[in-house]
Amino acid sequence: MSNKTWFITGTSTGLGRLMTERLLARGDRVIATLRKPGALDDQQAAYGQQLHVLLLDVTDTEAIRGVVKQAFEYAGRIDVLVSNAGYGLFGAAEEVSDAQITRQIATNLTGPVQLIRAVLPYLRQQGGGRVVQVSSEGGQIAWPNFSLYHATKWGIEGFIESVAQEVAPFGIDFLIAEPGPTATNFAAGIDSAEPMNCYDDTPAGEVRRGLADGSIAINGDAGKTVDAIIAAADADKPAIRLALGSKAYHAIHEALATRLQVLEDTKAVALSVDKDA
């Protein structure tokens, strides 16, 4: 397999950092973005020009366009874009603040949308490419206290399903990675709302206590997760969605089965509203 050039956002920690390390170790070239300088200094020292680091806050649309331009001018060709930057907002819908909502949507939804939009002209001009969006099981299921996080993940997955159809004729395809609970620093980066006592004895309160006491199991291995994403990105024709982890697989399977049953249960009503022949 020939070496590839990857463009990865959110590389200072977590899956993005680990993916950068794995790709550099196998000889690929990585253009890595992060919000604060210094996080990849050790990798820069070890791999030199194989790694090119750019500063980027994905909430800044103009900065996205500028950094994408720099990346393609530097690399000439980019084979895989990995849209990885993101974080979780935790709190019942009425607990979270307007500012928290704005930042969550700007980072997890608007940012990836604008990143993908900025990259598409370059991928068209070079005759194709692959976009990997790091979503989560939260793009297919919903937990209490993560309503805004789910809104962004369901939103970006819907965006990609549509765009994938638009650009397939140009040789551009997409992979949506959906990890379940994984041993990264995701929990440490969660933005939590000020809790309201009225939610203590509700499902939202149960989830809050579960995260606090560790009773919500995290069984995903970060290294295996990154290896699986890279392998799928290397494949000739990967499926558009990739659930990662047993919890993600079973939770998504149950959610889809439940939605399908609801659809079947309401079939008669759905068919009844067509215009008369």
Cα separation, 173 vs 115, in Å, equals 15
CB–CB of 153/138 below 8 Å? yes
CB–CB of 30/78 below 8 Å? no
Helices and strands (H and E) in the chain: how many: 10, 9
Tens-place pLDDT, residues 110-130: 999 999 999 999 999 999 999
Q: Which of 87, 122, 149, 199 is catalytic?
A: 149
Tens-place pLDDT, residues 7-20: 999 999 999 999 99
188 contacts: CB under 8 Å, gap ≥ 6: none
Per-residue pLDDT at 1 exceeds 80: no
Cα separation, 107 vs 98, in Å, equals 14
CB–CB of 130/233 below 8 Å? yes
69 is catalytic: no
153 is catalytic: yes
3-state DSSP assignment of residue 2: coil
- How high is the pLDDT of residue 219? 82
135 is catalytic: yes
Domain ranges of the chain: 5-272
Percent of the chain with pLDDT over 70: 98
- How high is the pLDDT of residue 260? 98
Instruction: Tell me which CATH code domain 5-272 carries.
Output: 3.40.50.720
Q: Where are the alpha helices (DSSP H) in 76-196?
A: 98-105, 111-125, 147-167
3-state DSSP assignment of residue 241: strand
On average, the pLDDT of the chain sits at 94
Tens-place pLDDT, residues 214-249: 777 778 889 999 999 999 999 999 999 999 999 999
Q: Which of 12, 47, 83, 153 is catalytic?
A: 153
Cα separation, 105 vs 112, in Å, equals 10
Tens-place pLDDT, residues 83-119: 999 999 999 999 999 999 999 999 999 999 999 999 9
Tens-place pLDDT, residues 169-223: 999 999 999 998 776 766 667 899 999 999 999 999 999 998 888 777 778 889 9
Q: Which of 135, 136, 199, 247 is catalytic?
A: 135
